[in-house]
Amino acid sequence: MILLLFGPPGCGKGTQAAFLAEHFHIPAISTGEVFRAECKAGTPLGKMACQIMAKGGLVGDDIVNGVVANRLTRPDCAGGFVFDGFPRTLPQAEQLDKILEARGFGKPQVVDFCVSPEELVKRISGRWMCSVGGEIYNIHEAPPKVAGICDRDGGKLVQRADDRPEAVKERLVVYERQTKPLTEYYRRRGVLDLLDAGAPVEEVSRALEKLVKCS
Ligand code: AP5
């Protein structure tokens, strides 16, 4: 099972990747999460990625492809995996195809999350993340039991640097320009499914589970 969750910032990819990982016992790989962790650790890669992410741009293809190729060598990927936020450009999609072919994996299933622009803004502006474990909350839809504190590990909840309005605007522009065209790439390969992701979380999870099982 190789799943690629595709869609604009804030559409719910991370939330549903966590659901799929738990449900199907496969690792969820978020390239955004990898770069945020590097950022937090203050590594040279993190320092470089931090600056790009805070402005809403994309980390360079060579760097992203290297990170992904390395991650896919880990044994937990042998039975499949779900990507959240990768690929985001044509060179990334082509590189992934090469890796899948070289390692004898089948074709991926690509799920395109469809959400209205108004709902995206609402979701992003309400998002808070645990500074320890990365658990995602939303003050409108899925608030923590105690304001500002993670239910799971008691970590402090913080907002992402790239959730500032100017960065969000740029992320949406970058998505339309560089990432959205990939839907055509996958449609032509017959592996693209559209998902109405504007519904509440549990409803989207049910629809996604059905879509994945039916393919
Ligand atoms: P990344 O972390 O991948 O960010 P993104 O794609 O912009 O997506 P988000 O994480 O903002 O949203 P999401 O779709 O995961 O939604 P979520 O589940 O959190 O990337 C960040 C940056 O890293 C990029 O901008 C780039 O700089 C760099 N990067 C990463 N990958 C890269 C790559 N491949 N190439 C180059 N650069 C790369 O949900 C959002 C909120 O809504 C949450 O609060 C959640 O609780 C809530 N919510 C979720 N579902 C629902 C629902 N159904 N109803 C109501 N609320 C919901």
pLDDT in tens, 143-163: 999 999 999 999 999 998 899
Backbone CA torsion sign across 45, 160, 83, 85: negative
For 157-193, write each residue's pLDDT tens digit: 999 889 988 899 999 999 999 999 999 999 999 999 9
Q: If you measure from the C-alpha of residue 32 to the centroid of ligand 1, how many angstroms do you get, rounded to a whole number?
A: 8
**55 contact partners, CB below 8 Å, separation of at least 6:** 162, 167, 170
36 as an active site residue: the answer is no
The active-site residue out of 71, 103, 107, 171 is 171
171 as an active site residue: the answer is yes
18 lines ligand 1 (CB under 6 A): no
Exposed e or buried b for every residue in 183-194, given b needs 16+ CB within 10 A? eebbeeeebbbe
Residue to probe by mutation, ligand 1, list 68, 129, 137, 138, most atoms within 8 Å of CB: 138
Query: Helices 44-55 and 165-174 sit at what angle, rounded to 10 degrees?
Result: 90
For 71-96, write each residue's pLDDT tens digit: 999 999 999 999 999 999 999 999 99
Q: If you measure from the C-alpha of residue 215 to the centroid of ligand 1, how many angstroms do you get, rounded to a whole number?
A: 25
Looking at residue 161, its pLDDT comes to: 86
What is the pTM (predicted TM-score) of this model? Answer: 0.93
Write the DSSP symbol of residue 196: E
